[in-house]
Structure 1
Amino acid sequence: MTQDYRKTAEAVSRLSPQQYAVTQEAATEPAFRNRFWDNHDAGLYVDIVSGEPLFASVDKYDSRSGWPSFTAPVDSGNIVENVDRTYGMVRTEVRSAHGDSHLGHLFDDGPAEAGGLRYCINSAALRFIPLAELEEQGYGDYIRLFEKEDK
């Protein structure tokens, strides 16, 4: 099933002030005071605006940064990387490809055994879909990502 992942005015109008600041204005939410930094449930993280699949819990790890951190996206075609020169630093900004939401930043200090990347993502940019609900919410194709956990 092919879904149409788009940014719509209606989706943007439903965002909380913090979700809007993060996704539309490239703000950063507080470390350790966000919804998913310590979430250990199995499931898929999608863009809060467009619904495009971004990260799976099987690639999430505790980076001790206070934000959800992942070693890889579920589909690199849903991620855009930009140079971010704000705050006197040079970083790699991560945005969703279809929703154009600011998600967070990419760093090269992730687990070596997983390729060394750390996608440090704002919870406010994400909606979490539990594994048991993937099929009913239209993300059944992503159940395969969790099959390796069962073996």
Structure 2
Amino acid sequence: MSAFNLLHLVTKSQPVALRACGLPSGSCRDKKTCKVLFSQQELKKRLTPLQYHVTQEKGTESAFEGEYTHHKAQGVYKCVVCGTPLFKSETKFDSGSGWPSFYDVIASDTITFTDDYSFGMHRVETSCSQCGAHLGHIFDDGPRPTGKRYCINSASLSFESTDMNQSGEGSIGSTAAQADKTEL
């Protein structure tokens, strides 16, 4: 059984809190480098149980079941914890892995990389540089131009769509606000 299949089997049967290298889960590795801090109590109130599990306990959502796995709208994917813009929809691609995949980030300083030796293998964990939220992992099997695949949990993301306003300029609006618009 491959490591991927084993990981999927374990996470499918029950949520698993991953604690790579003995580091504290979810929060910035060094509180001094964390730019945005939230109390665990606040996060438990604000996030869904799955969002909390993924971002604060380094959990993994089930493959092919995340909200943004097959999402095709144009816009920006942000950290669900602090709202930092992370990925543009133009860099999203279908990797077949079961999780949203991106080949590049909006800015190189938005993601922190940490070695992850959980499940007896070496991977590189990605987390939000602003708040320390666990996002997913990065692999070297992505498309050009970067060759990277940011394999990200939908539960760690929020989405803001971009639409064309009447003057033809792009604007950003939340998906909830877009759903409330009615045509006259």
Q: Report TM bin, short chain.
A: 0.7 to 0.9
Q: Give TM-score, length-normalised by structure 2.
A: 0.68
3-state SS of 1:40 partner:
coil
Deviation of 1:134 after TM superposition, in Å, equals: 5.2
**Post-superposition, which runs of at least 4 consecutive aligned residues in structure 1 deviate over 2 A?**
5-13, 132-137
Are residue 34 (structure 1) and residue 59 (structure 2) matched? no
Q: Paired residue for 1:130? A: 161
Q: Paired residue for 2:57? A: 25
**How do 1:85-124 and structure 2 match up within 5 A?**
85-111=117-143, 113-124=144-155
**How do 1:73-88 and structure 2 match up within 5 A?**
73-88=105-120
RMSD after superposition: 1.7
Partners of 1:21 and 1:72 in 2: CA distance? 25
Are residue 6 (structure 1) and residue 6 (structure 2) matched? no
Q: How many residues align?
A: 132
Deviation of 1:11 after TM superposition, in Å, equals: 4.5
Unpaired stretches in structure 2, ≥5 consecutive residues: 1-34, 164-169, 175-184
3-state SS of 1:24 partner:
helix
From 43, 65, 68, the equivalent of 2:75 is: 43
Partner amino acid for 2:75? G
Instruction: Deviation per CA, 1:83-133: give whole Å up to 9, x if none.
Output: 00000010000000011100000000111x222100000000000110139
Partners of 2:129 and 2:171 in 1: CA distance? 21
3-state SS of 1:92 partner:
strand
Higher relative contact order (CA 8 A, sep 6+): 1
Deviation of 1:6 after TM superposition, in Å, equals: 2.3
Deviation of 1:58 after TM superposition, in Å, equals: 0.4
Q: Aligned residues: percent identity?
A: 43
Instruction: Deviation per CA, 1:53-81: give whole Å up to 9, x if none.
Output: 10110000000111000001101111000
Partner amino acid for 1:45? Y
Deviation of 1:135 after TM superposition, in Å, equals: 4.0
